């Protein structure tokens, strides 16, 4: 790992033990964790079969802690580049509040604990998926892809797409087409979401030497890729109804949300100069978070209200 | 005989932080105990009464 820009050697902080409980909580990336909990919950609800509510809650807790462990391991490894990026410079490790070794120990402990709890108390199939997800995010994405290829978030996006599959597996004990469809939605959503952010934070990524697509291929190519991935994403959102995982309510929501996503992606594609371009990117980034929440919420609402689910056409 | 002076290497702020972290850890451990206990009961469910001895 590269050298830290915040030199804390010779200070009290160098001894460690300076971090507050809040600093450790920040290591878990709570905002990412909340989206993971939500999508995993949808996986549990959408899966065929039932699970005792308590066991469902335990599974969600373990998945959330596992996601937090991934965040802590990411912050341990990426502390050098976090220090030079404006968006991440105030994270606990580059700030010197928590030592890299402390973050590593915290992340590994939580990773092992979350996998064991999920396996021992709920399902070993789900626990195996959680372990793989943590490995994928911490090792494949953070240690390997992030610094080596502009396709980093395309492949690495799989890590963020696993939670509904893990939730589903807590109920069925297996990986099914329905859970793969939920996985694919998040997988295809990730590139336009992150590239929209990278377009207006391009300087930050360039300074840190991260080969994000706008840095390597330029903003025009990134805009083209955002549009392509958005066009691929929308049809994929219709897989759940075709697989018998969702019904009419979800389908109507997917049509409306898909049109809105394409509109925002088209705005990013069209507006390439000045403040209007930045605004379009920020709007797509913000809307994409809301979009993911709403499309998964549609499944949740549909199941919650007991609305009819389509018969599977495929699978 | 001189009395040994015991001096903590930590400042009062450090001690406060340690105390808060220790409390947080204690709460997590207590939570795990409850988690395992309740889950065991839930998983046993009605089956516990059906065991033959």
pLDDT in tens, A213-250: 999 999 999 999 999 999 999 999 999 999 999 999 99
Portion 79-118 of A in contact with B at CB < 8 A: 117
Q: pLDDT by residue (tens digit) across A49-105?
A: 999 999 999 999 999 999 999 999 999 999 999 999 988 999 999 999 999 999 999
Is the CB of residue A183 less than 8 Å away from at least one CB of chain B?
A: no
Q: Which residues make Cβ contacts (< 8 Å) with residue A33, sequence separation at least 6?
A: A64, A67, A68, A71
* CB contact A69 to B (< 8 Å): no
Over the stretch B7-48, which tens digit does the pLDDT of each residue have?
A: 667 788 888 888 888 998 999 999 999 999 999 999 887 666
The residue of chain B with its CA nearest to that of A106 is B25
Structure pTM?
A: 0.88
Q: Evaluate if residue B1 carries a pLDDT over 60.
A: no
pLDDT at A48: 95
Measured between CA atoms, the residue of chain B closest to residue A55 is B39
Note the pLDDT tens digit of each residue in A160-216: 999 999 999 999 999 999 999 999 999 999 999 999 999 988 888 888 899 999 999
Distance CA A91, CA A109 (A): 20
Higher pLDDT, residue A261 or A203: A261
- Residues in chain B with CB shorter than 8 Å from the CB of A61 are 35
On whether any CB of chain B is under 8 Å from the CB of A170, the answer is: no
The pLDDT of residue A53 is 95
Please say whether the beta carbons of A201 and A87 come within 8 A. yes
**Chain B interface includes A24 (CB < 8 A):** yes
Choose from B9, B42, B45, B46 for mutation: most chain A CBs within 10 A. B42
Q: Which residues in chain B have their CB less than 8 angstroms from residue A12's CB?
A: 11, 14
List CB contacts (< 8 A) between B42 and chain A.
52, 54-55
DSSP string, A271-306: --SHHHHHHHHHHHHHHHHHHHHHHHHHHHHHHHTT
Find out whether A247 and A301 touch, Cβ atoms under 8 Å: no
């Amino acid at each position: 790992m590269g050298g830290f820009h915040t030199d804390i050697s010779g200070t009290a902080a160098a001894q460690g033990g300076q971090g507050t409980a809040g600093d450790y909580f920040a290591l878990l990336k709570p905002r990412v964790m909340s989206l993971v909990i939500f999508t995993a919950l949808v996986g549990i609800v959408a899966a065929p079969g039932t699970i005792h509510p308590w066991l469902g809650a335990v599974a969600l807790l373990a998945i959330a802690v596992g996601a937090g462990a991934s965040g802590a391991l990411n912050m341990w490894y990426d502390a050098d580049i976090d220090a030079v990026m404006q968006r991440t410079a105030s994270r606990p490790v580059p700030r010197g509040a928590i030592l890299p070794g402390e973050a590593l120990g915290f992340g590994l402990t939580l990773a092992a604990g979350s996998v064991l709890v999920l396996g021992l108390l709920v399902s070993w199939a789900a626990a195996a998926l959680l372990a793989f997800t943590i490995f994928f995010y911490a090792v494949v994405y953070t240690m390997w892809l992030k610094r080596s290829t502009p396709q980093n978030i395309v492949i690495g996006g799989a890590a963020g797409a696993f939670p509904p599959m893990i939730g589903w597996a807590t109920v069925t004990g297996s990986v099914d087409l329905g859970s793969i469809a939920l996985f694919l939605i998040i997988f295809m959503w990730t590139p336009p979401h992150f590239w929209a952010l990278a377009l207006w934070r391009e300087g930050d990524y360039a300074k840190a030497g991260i080969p994000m697509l706008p840095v390597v291929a330029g903003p025009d190519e990134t805009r083209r890729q955002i549009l392509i991935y958005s066009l691929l994403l929308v049809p994929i959102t219709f897989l759940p109804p075709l697989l018998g995982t969702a019904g009419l309510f979800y389908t109507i929501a997917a049509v409306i949300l898909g049109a809105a996503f394409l509109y925002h992606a088209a705005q990013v594609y069209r507006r390439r100069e000045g403040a209007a371009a930045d605004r379009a990117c920020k709007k797509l980034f913000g809307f994409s978070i809301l979009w993911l929440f709403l499309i998964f919420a549609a499944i949740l609402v549909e199941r919650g209200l007991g609305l009819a689910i389509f018969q599977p056409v495929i699978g | 005989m001189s009395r040994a002076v015991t001096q903590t290497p930590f400042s009062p702020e450090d001690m406060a932080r340690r105390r808060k972290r220790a409390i947080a850890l204690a709460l997590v451990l207590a939570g795990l105990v409850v988690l395992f206990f309740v889950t065991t009961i839930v998983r046993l469910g009605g089956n516990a009464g059906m065991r033959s001895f």
